[in-house]
Structure 1
Amino acid sequence: MNPFSRSWNALLSAVAELSDEDFGRPSGCAGWLVRDLVCHLVIDAQDVLITLATPADTAPTRDAVSYWQIVPEPTGEDPLDALTVRLAAAYQDPRLLLFHLDDVGSAAGRAAGLADPAAPVSTQDQVLTAGDYLTAYVLECTLHHLDLQAQLPKVPPPPAEGLGRSRELLEAIAGAPFPAAFSDRDALLLGTGRRTPDPEQAAGLRTMGAQVPFSIG
């Protein structure tokens, strides 16, 4: 559970330090402002709470890697993405959004700490252990922490442990390791298309023999 807890708590702490002006700046998620990203984190926290409170009575069908699937490149037309933007705008005062994330996010963190790693839980019509589910969410936390940093260099980076574990997960999803010369941060940003590679990096990605960059969901 520790990698999730550290990554999640670091992300919540980083959001808590944002100024009101920061909420109107672009995030690393295409088409989303920081306020939209933070609203998405509220939904993430709700997902964690719901999943950990939904025990399953069947064997796991997914693990921390197969939980993720390669999905089409976001177009901004997904109904849930559009709903997130509308919800974020409805808060108006960024402090209300911060309060909601702190409230629900802290509860999600506590639930994760109390969960039995071996217990099967259900989410999105799939079953996996609570430990695998929270391990998978390290990647979610870390990528969104990088999204938060994209236009806000004052935001502290994600924990090194979370970056390393997220790289391992992304390599397993891709079915190939990233070039050793790539830092964990570069591997995540380039592998998910959050950063355009320079010629040397593009050559390194081609050596992987996998379709990268890609979107996961």
Structure 2
Amino acid sequence: MDLFSRTWADLLAAVGDLSDEDFARPSGCAGWLVRDLVCHLVVDAQDVLITLVTPEDVPPTRDAVTYWTIDDHRPGEDDPLAALTVRLAAAYEDPALLRFHLDDVGSAAGRAARLADPALRVGTRDEVLTARDYLDAYVLEWTLHHLDLIAGVPDLPGPSAEGLGRARELLEAVAGAPVPAAFCDTDALLLGTGRRPLDDAERVVLGEVADHYPVRLG
């Protein structure tokens, strides 16, 4: 849970360092500008707030790994939620408004996470997790989107080594296969999620593991 807070704080700080011009740059999310990514983070922060105030009294059905599913849809296919995010981001017009909204909602999400009982069972997406597992799962989300942000604005500070390491562990567990140690954590995450395509040499290094990647998380 502490790592959730640190990775989220690092991501919010990086967004806070964006210039107005940076919001129009492409991000590491295919088809999304930086402003679209930041708008998505607003929605993510709202989801965290909603989930942490949605207690359940039944046993958990998911943990930090099984929270994630592998989405069979290919990038670029029609995705109503992704399209809505783009429209919402454009509606802000002034980047300062979007930056303020994320800081406002994002700070609240961070406070809620720090106050949450780790053993609390919460409901989201018709599943039940402990607050500890739910917030742990989001370390992967924050780290990947931090990489998406610096893909468009490389001068920004990137994710912490601790966040990258935990995100890699989660991704490998979801995929069911470890990425060879020859790949650093950043490359493992970018290649493993299809954010950067494998070249022939990398495919050879991956060997049979290449059949498990890339995965699109849902």
Structure 2 gap segments, 5+ residues each: none
- Aligned partners of 2:137, 2:144: CA distance in 1, in Å? 12
| Contact 2:193 2:214 survives alignment (8 Å) | yes
Q: Number of matched residues?
A: 217
The answer as to 2:32 corresponding to 1:28 is: no
Match of 1:201 in 2: 202
Distance in 1, Cα, partners of 2:135 & 2:151: 24
Corresponding residue for 1:100?
A: 101
Q: Secondary structure at the match of 1:121?
A: strand
Q: How is 1:33-48 mapped onto 2 (pairs within 5 angstroms)?
A: 33-48=33-48
Structure 1 contact 192–215 (Cα < 8 Å) conserved: yes
Instruction: Measure the CA separation in 2 of the matches of 1:192 and 1:165.
Output: 15
> Could you say which residue in structure 2 is the equivalent of 1:4?
4
1:51 equivalent in structure 2: 51
Superposed displacement of residue 162, structure 1: 0.6
Following superposition, the deviation at residue 198 of structure 1 comes to 2.4
Q: Distance in 1 between matches of 2:6 and 2:14?
A: 12
What secondary structure is seen at the aligned counterpart in 2 of 1:56? coil
Q: What is the aligned partner in structure 1 of residue 64 from structure 2?
A: 64
Whether the aligned pair in 2 keeps the contact of 1:205 and 1:212 (CA below 8 Å) is no
Counterpart AA for 1:188: L
CA contact (8 A) 1:142 1:158 kept: yes
Q: 1:106 to 1:155 in 2, by over 3 A?
A: same
CA offsets 1:11-57 (integer angstroms, 9 cap, x no match): 00000000000000000000000000000000000000000010001
- Displaced runs of 4 or more, over 4 A: none
Contact 1:28 1:146 in 2 (8 A): yes
The alpha carbon displacement at 1:155 in A equals 1.1
Amino acid at match of 2:193: T
Q: Measure, in 2, the Cα distance between the counterparts of 1:206 and 1:79.
A: 36
Q: What is the CA-CA distance between 1:201 and the residue it aligns to?
A: 1.2
Offset of 1:174 from its aligned partner?
1.0
Structure 1: gaps of 5 or more residues: none
What TM-score results when the alignment is normalised by the length of structure 1?
A: 0.98
Once the two structures are superposed, what CA deviation does each residue of 1:48-86 show, in whole Å capped at 9, x if it has no partner?
A: 000001000100000000000000223252111111000
Amino acid at match of 2:153: L
Deviation digits for residues 118-165 of structure 1, max 9, x if unmatched?
A: 110000000000000000000000000000011211010101111000
Q: What is the correspondence of 1:1-217 to structure 2 with a 5 Å cutoff?
A: 1-71=1-71, 72-208=73-209, 210-217=211-218
Instruction: Give, in angstroms, the shift of residue 210 of structure 1.
Output: 4.0
Tell me, in whole angstroms, the C-alpha distance in 2 between the residues paired with 1:101 and 1:137.
16
- On the 8 A contact 2:150/2:158 being kept in 1, the answer is yes
> Cα–Cα, structure 1 residues 18 and 115, in superposed 2: closer, same or farther, change >3 Å?
same
1-structure distance, mates of 2:81, 2:151: 22
Q: How far apart, in 1, do the equivalents of 2:98 and 2:209 lie? A: 41
